[in-house]
Structure 1
Amino acid sequence: MPTVILLCPDARRAGGNSTTLARLSGHLSSLGLEVTAGDVQDSCQLFRDYGLLTSLFVVTIHAYKSACILEGLPSNAKLMLIFGGTDLNENGKNEMERNIMKRVVERAQCCVAFSHDQKKLACILWPEHAGKVKVIHQGVITSPNPNFNLRSYLESEHSYRAKDYIILLVAGLRPVKDPLYLMKAYADSPLSETTSFVIVGPVVDDKYAQVFMQTVSNLRESNILYAGQLSVENAHAAIAQSLCVVNSSLSEGMAASILEAFQLGVPVLARDIPGNSYLVKHDETGLLYSTPQEFLRHLEKLLNSSDQRERLVTNAKAGLGRFSSTQERELYKYLINRM
């Protein structure tokens, strides 16, 4: 039976990469492959354990952060690279980092992008390897914990009683996710008196998290609260119990929280950047904003219009076909077979 080592950065933290890791592990296991999942930092030990196998596949997420695996990667291993989003959008702007990523792209038998826009960017960065890049949309799977109540959690764990409506931002604490982008405008708005703005997600960048924590702690009286890291199941339950899900990232590959909100029937307000506009069609499947003030206008309208909320979630659910988990599994099966 072929063995697959599935790797991503920050595998131990509940975030976009670890969610993708878990979903792909399930897909590949269902295909009859023996799958071992781990962090890229543990790759050398995993390669020592499995490196003598004659049929070894390595699937790794994020071109820049996966460069460390090349040192110990067995020569007989087949490598599939999955672009994470930040690698193309951010690391790709830096020549040194771009060259480091090129080594991973060169070694890979195939590369996967989550969207056609991401594929186009990869082909611009490394045109000589354009033929390797395939598009597989992320599949969306939600499993909300029926026993988790967000309001009760906020009261018991954070001594905070939420307002009538909860606005939820799901993101790891790091600069590219820009979770502070909306905070001042929201705190100064009358909306902060009748709603609660809750941020959940793991600490990914310790230095940035210190600034974030201090800022948010000073805004608690404005009903802004960081509620820590939740398990995937509890995060899904929190999404389902919120008025809307917010994305404020500077750049995105494909935000899992947006797809999860679509499936769970919750409206999305997302910053108007390429990764988000690939998923969200403004005023059809969600709302896009370019400034904090525009965000507040959209939020106020959403609060006052149940018809708009219903229309957005109905359209969003109807468009989820291209993000089918079954289709995602079949496409990875096809690529693995070709490799």
Structure 2
Amino acid sequence: MHLITITPAQPDSKAGNRATAERWKSLLETAGHSVEVVTEYHGEPCDAFIALHAWRSVYAIRQFRETWPGKPLIVALTGTDLYHHQYEYPDDTRYSMSVADALVGLHDLVAHDMPPGFASKLVTLYQSAEGPEALPAPQADLKKGSFGVCVIGHLRDEKDALRAAYAARLLPEESKIQVFCAGKALKDEWRHKAEREMTENPRFHWLGELDKTSTRQLMTNSQVMVISSVMEGGANVVSEACRAGLPVLASDIPGNVGLLGRDYAGYFPVGDEQALAELLCRSETDPRFLATLKKQVGKLAGRFIPEKERASLEQALHLAMQHCSQRR
């Protein structure tokens, strides 16, 4: 099939949605399809259309559905679609969901957070990541003798990106924890916050936006990863951590619980730096707790392999074609 995928993220962007679009292109081409990734759509012909973002891609979705009413449409639901846009912009977001022949959700709890009546169109897809064999060898710690904690993701409100830094302020003086934050500040406000935090907090280091190799090196050198988001559709960085065997301390939001499972031991209440500080301290000082987290992410690693992600994409295509044929 000839497929067109639309994403709001530009070709040079390191945003997660661009990475997802390019990864899906590679996986689908491996399965024998031809895939074009675009940021604008004007009715060009294709055998099926895949849209990342229900709300941000609504104009392209409307254009495709009106131009090609008999062709299959797949819409991938992001965290902002599920936890913000369907309430802030309900007409556009729900329009995209309603005209889709298949919906892709990125964690186990998506069905609970969708409007009623859409579950029959839902395919759960776990984003994949490369395995530990692709990781670089450990290097000397960025700060010698430290217990490295990494935070990976652009600095924006949804990520609550400085929560680990605030938690690090509450640690006992003897703690060796150092927090290394990798990500681009999407607004000046976040850049100022990160720069100010570095001047006031000796445990915090903002590294800016890193390339793929440097990000993997950071993960290799870290003992724990923190994902403190207030909303997530199913973050690929969680997949990467599980595949790397890197323990995760995660905010207890559906997007994290839906990937790590309800029985995962490393959750803290969203926005609660005191609870996160306690988890950080326990990770540093209690080898059994850290081993438990490592064992749990290790057991989950097999869920995030490329072959399974490709199979889920094929499942979504099959469901979309099936639903499309029923509409005719």
Q: Normalised by the shorter chain, which TM-score bucket?
A: 0.7 to 0.9
- Residue in 2 aligned with 1:139? 128
Residue 82 (structure 1) aligned with residue 76 (structure 2) = yes
> How far is 1:80 from its partner?
0.8
Q: Map Cα deviations across residues 240-293 of structure 1 (whole Å, 9 max, x no partner).
A: 2101000111111212222211111111111122222223357x6541112211
Q: Map Cα deviations across residues 57-114 of structure 1 (whole Å, 9 max, x no partner).
A: 22111111111324643722532100012210122222xx111112222332211112
Distance 1:274 1:265 in 2: 22
Q: Residue 188 and residue 313 in structure 1: after superposition, are their counterparts in 2 closer, same or farther (change >3 A)?
A: closer
Q: Residue 280 and residue 337 in structure 1: after superposition, are their counterparts in 2 closer, same or farther (change >3 A)?
A: closer
> How far is 1:187 from its partner?
2.2
Q: Residue 192 and residue 182 in structure 1: after superposition, are their counterparts in 2 closer, same or farther (change >3 A)?
A: farther
- Which residue, 47, 50, 57 being the options, matches 2:48? 57
> How far is 1:218 from its partner?
2.8
Residue 100 (structure 1) aligned with residue 92 (structure 2) = yes
* Aligned partner of residue 190 in structure 1, secondary structure: coil
> How far is 1:196 from its partner?
1.4
- Which residue, 224, 246, 254 being the options, matches 2:204? 224
Distance 2:207 2:112 in 1: 37
Q: Residue 215 and residue 300 in structure 1: after superposition, are their counterparts in 2 closer, same or farther (change >3 A)?
A: same
Distance 1:289 1:185 in 2: 11
Question: Contact conserved, 2:49 with 2:73, CA < 8 A, in 1?
Answer: yes
Distance 1:337 1:188 in 2: 51
Residue 31 (structure 1) aligned with residue 53 (structure 2) = no
Residue 178 (structure 1) aligned with residue 160 (structure 2) = yes
Q: What TM-score, normalized to structure 2? A: 0.85
- Residue in 2 aligned with 1:235? 215
- Residue in 1 aligned with 2:111? 119
The aligned amino acid for 1:58 is F
Question: Contact conserved, 1:8 with 1:17, CA < 8 A, in 2?
Answer: yes
Question: Contact conserved, 1:150 with 1:238, CA < 8 A, in 2?
Answer: no
Q: Residue 238 and residue 210 in structure 1: after superposition, are their counterparts in 2 closer, same or farther (change >3 A)?
A: closer
* Aligned partner of residue 197 in structure 1, secondary structure: strand
Q: Residue 305 and residue 281 in structure 1: after superposition, are their counterparts in 2 closer, same or farther (change >3 A)?
A: farther
Q: Residue 218 and residue 35 in structure 1: after superposition, are their counterparts in 2 closer, same or farther (change >3 A)?
A: same
Alignment of 1:283-302 (within 5 A): 285-290=264-269, 291-302=272-283
- Residue in 1 aligned with 2:325? none
- Residue in 2 aligned with 1:18? 18
Distance 1:301 1:147 in 2: 26
Query: Unmatched 5+ residue regions in structure 1?
Result: 155-160
Distance 1:17 1:148 in 2: 28
The aligned amino acid for 2:96 is V
The aligned amino acid for 1:165 is F
Distance 2:232 2:57 in 1: 18
* Aligned partner of residue 58 in structure 1, secondary structure: strand
> How far is 1:128 from its partner?
4.3
The aligned amino acid for 1:229 is E
What is the Cα-based RMSD across aligned positions, in Å? 2.6
- Which residue, 193, 211, 221 being the options, matches 1:212? 193
- Residue in 2 aligned with 1:8? 7
Counting matched residue pairs gives 313
Give structure 1 regions of 4+ aligned residues with deviation exceeding 4 angstroms. 142-145, 147-151
> How far is 1:169 from its partner?
0.5
The sequence identity of aligned pairs, in percent, is 20
Question: Contact conserved, 1:60 with 1:80, CA < 8 A, in 2?
Answer: yes
* Aligned partner of residue 40 in structure 2, secondary structure: helix
Residue 261 (structure 1) aligned with residue 241 (structure 2) = yes
Question: Contact conserved, 1:163 with 1:196, CA < 8 A, in 2?
Answer: no
Q: Please say which of residues 272-281 and 252-261 is displaced more in the overlay.
A: 272-281
Q: Please say which of residues 186-195 and 98-107 is displaced more in the overlay.
A: 186-195
> How far is 1:200 from its partner?
0.6
Q: Please say which of residues 244-253 and 207-216 is displaced more in the overlay.
A: 207-216
Q: Residue 286 and residue 239 in structure 1: after superposition, are their counterparts in 2 closer, same or farther (change >3 A)?
A: farther
Q: Residue 110 and residue 234 in structure 1: after superposition, are their counterparts in 2 closer, same or farther (change >3 A)?
A: same
Distance 1:8 1:194 in 2: 41
Distance 2:74 2:150 in 1: 34
